[in-house]
Amino acid sequence: MDASVKSRLNRLKEGLEDFLDLYGDRPCRFGVISSSPPAVLTPEEWVVVACYVVPIRVGSSLHPGRAGTVAPDPLVGGTECLAWRGDKEAIERFREWAIQASATLRRHQTSLGGLSLDDPRYGALCAFLHLAVGTEPLSPMVKRRVILSGETIFTEGGPVLPSLAERRANDQQFAIVETRADGAAFAMAVLEFLLVGDAKRPYAARKLARSIADEFGLPEPLSEEQALFVQLLRDADGEYRTFDWMKEQQPFLKESNKTRLFKSLPAPIRTRIKGKRGSGYRWITDA
């Protein structure tokens, strides 16, 4: 990756850091809904489908929930749709970042390992999700699930989707690939993956992230970045370690921001770490 592309990715990271400083405590998730076999729907029909992202179940029956606090965004071609969940203001601000990121990355598409950024507004978010599905260090951060199938669509009282009226295919499905947790944290992880490269990632980082989360009773694994930061401190036996020292030990941390990284840690872990100006951080072993 040449220096100019790397510089632009780092600027996008800085924009995300600013977003997390302001909205990091508000929920903001996204996912891409697609149909199989592919079907072109109208924007109004995508709103109907998006209501099944978080459905209401009554017995064995499936009923539509809400489309979300922000209306879904149909993508170019009409065969996919970006769905949002979370705080309305946070989503609106994250949308602005996503549009800027898409414009930036589309100009350097050939330098980014063949990322496909077809949609001019949300191509970056779609590409990040598709990359994560097939990339082991990122795959734990996303999930795919079927939200609507033909047996629901074509039954009496099912969703009204005129574009599918003549098809009536019982194998018709709508599935969503979505972030498991915060969308901005996921986007940050993808940018760091693109900057650092898979070859420099420690082999055991993913396993470590899960084991630390299990130890502290957390519902989701830590990021690889968080896990390495924590483990380096735990291995120091209560001694202070500077962030520069940590980056020498783990090249994966070279692009990391120490303040953002520390603040991003779950509270049960963050309270076990003490920071001291000029000395760095240490793990509190007698807690």
pLDDT of residue 106: 86
Helices 224-234, 183-196: axis angle to 10 degrees equals 80
Query: Helix/strand/coil (H, E, C) string of 205-254?
Result: HHHHHHHHHHHCCCCCCCCHHHHHHHHHHHCCCCCCECHHHHHHHCHHHC
pLDDT in tens, 193-250: 888 764 344 445 666 788 888 889 998 888 888 988 998 898 888 899 999 888 877 7
CA dist 157 and 133 (Å) reads 34
Residue type, 31: G
- Number of Cβ within a 10 Å radius of residue 133: 12
* Residue 10 neighbours by CB under 8 Å, 6+ apart: 195, 255
Residue 26: closest CA among 78, 92, 81, 124: 92
CA dist 284 and 174 (Å) reads 48
More confident residue, 103 or 36: 103
pTM comes to: 0.65
pLDDT in tens, 31-88: 999 988 888 899 999 988 888 887 665 555 555 555 556 789 999 889 999 999 889 9
pLDDT in tens, 224-238: 889 889 988 988 888
